[in-house]
Amino acid sequence: MAKINRIGVLTSGGDAPGMNAAIRAVTRAGINNNLEVFGIMRGYEGMIEGDIIPMNSETVSGIIQKGGTFLLTARSNRFREYEGRKEAYEQLKRFGINAVVVIGGDGSFTGANIMSSEFDIPFIGIPGTIDNDLFGTDYTIGFDTALNTVVDAVDKIRDTASSHNRIFFVEVMGREAGFVAINSGIACGAEIIMIPEEKNQIEKARRFLAERARKNKSSIILVAEGLEEGSTMEITEILKPEFPQFDMRVSILGHIQRGGSPSAKDRVIASRMGAAAVEALLDNQKCIMIGLVNDEIVQVPLNKTVKMHKAIDEALINLAEDIATFGPQK
């Protein structure tokens, strides 16, 4: 590979708290290693359009505590096609950028991996997604903040549930993975946690409700949005006629889980990963993701992290069952 002297950094896909901290770390670590750093606005769409700005230490001053991403993010249909990627490469050449750091999820990494193979330009991935579902890393940027947001919201919902003796079905993000649901559910003491990795979730809730009828207490049922058996609203409508004695409500937390000032943990992880991405480029690494395993920085091939499935720790699922109010619901 040619000597790297100018790098670009972008955020792509869904935003996550801590992305700004990662951008800051990439920028300052790059500058301190005599690299010129450019910010690519609006992800791959901005790369195609040449929406690229020079970065310096002052550019990233005062952003570490802010949620979202000041570089903005977008999903680009044009980048899915070869012609779009070719346009993006021409823009990188125009700015003299010869390496790119991508902060995002598996879709962003898939695009980076393809473009790198087509145009021989190094891409380094930094995992930024609240879902924490990327293979090769224990944590993704934004996951810890999202958990704390969910726990805070559910604590408030539990107050009103207790006051009215209601059952609340609380939906959290996790279309294909239940990492947010299982971890926040344990943290907030949810009576039932419903995740896409487990089957027969409606039956699980049905058995719980039948048992709860003898206890007459308010309850929190935490639901990941990606259940095969239906949406949270649909599941609630199925169960309401079966248990007319219960006052069931639904609360969908939605995009508040993406926002907010990043936690200290997310800021530190993002900073470590950002600096490690620059170090990897200086070591002539190409097409890898920076991960964190057992609190140590690791490097994972991009094609591996997008192809391999990250499973929820079975011990967490068992723990949720063991400490449930009414015992195992399997």
Across 4-145, where does the E strand assignment appear?
6-11, 36-40, 52-55, 99-104, 123-127
- 2 versus 263: the higher-pLDDT residue is 263
Among 15-29, 160-174, 208-222, 268-282, whose mean pLDDT is lowest?
208-222
Among residues 248, 225, 224, the alpha carbon closest in space to that of 238 is found at 248
DSSP states of 227-245:
-TT--HHHHHHHHTTT-TT
Q: What is the pLDDT of residue 28?
A: 98
Domain architecture of the chain: domains with CATH:
6-142+262-307 (3.40.50.450), 144-258 (3.40.50.460)
Assess whether pLDDT exceeds 60 at residue 1: no
* Closest C-alpha among 13, 5, 57, 7 to residue 175: 13
- For 4-57, the pLDDT digits (tens) are 999 999 999 999 999 999 999 999 999 999 999 999 999 999 999 999 999 999
The residue assigned the tokens 């790119």 is 100
CA distance 130 to 225: 14
Give the chain's mean pLDDT.
93
Q: Active site includes 131?
A: yes
Task: Examine the pLDDT at 329 and tell me if it is beyond 50.
Answer: no
Better-scored residue on pLDDT, 215 or 191: 191
On the question of pLDDT at 328 being above 70, the answer is no
248-262 confidence digits (pLDDT tens): 999 999 999 999 999
pTM score: 0.94
CA distance 69 to 104: 11
pLDDT band for position 330 (50/70/90)? very low
| Annotated active-site residue in 15, 106, 131, 144 | 131
